[in-house]
């Protein structure tokens, strides 16, 4: 299972969140996801590629950008 984190700058309201949530829930390859409106961030875990995940978000009407999060020292020690 892979985890993909995207910044979605054009996600501005709870309606946007609901639209993205509906698209993610419809794909059976997705195990879990987290949408944080305040950070404009969407995290997805499942059996699909980064591009497939971005396409799902794009198809729901938004422009995802792959997030490059810094994990810090402890995060780098315990990451998969």
CATH number of the domain at 17, please. Answer: 3.30.70.100
pLDDT, tens digit (0-9, with 9 covering 90-100), for 37-48: 999 999 999 999
Bridge partners of 6, per DSSP, are: 42, 66
Host domain of residue 26: 2-78
Q: What's this model's pTM, rounded to 2 decimal places?
A: 0.83
Distance from first CA to last CA of the chain, Å, rounded? 11
Closest C-alpha to 56, from 69, 39, 47? 47
pLDDT, tens digit (0-9, with 9 covering 90-100), for 29-76: 999 999 999 999 999 999 999 999 999 999 999 999 998 755 555 554
For the chain, what is the domain count? Answer: 1
């Amino acid at each position: 299972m892979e985890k993909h984190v995207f910044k979605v700058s054009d996600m501005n309201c709870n309606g946007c969140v609901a639209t993205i949530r509906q698209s993610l829930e419809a794909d059976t390859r997705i195990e879990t996801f987290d949408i944080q409106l305040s950070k404009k961030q969407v995290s997805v875990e499942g059996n699909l590629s980064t591009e497939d995940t971005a396409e799902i978000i794009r198809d729901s009407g938004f422009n995802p950008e792959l997030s490059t999060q810094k994990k810090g020292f402890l995060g780098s020690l315990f990451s998969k």
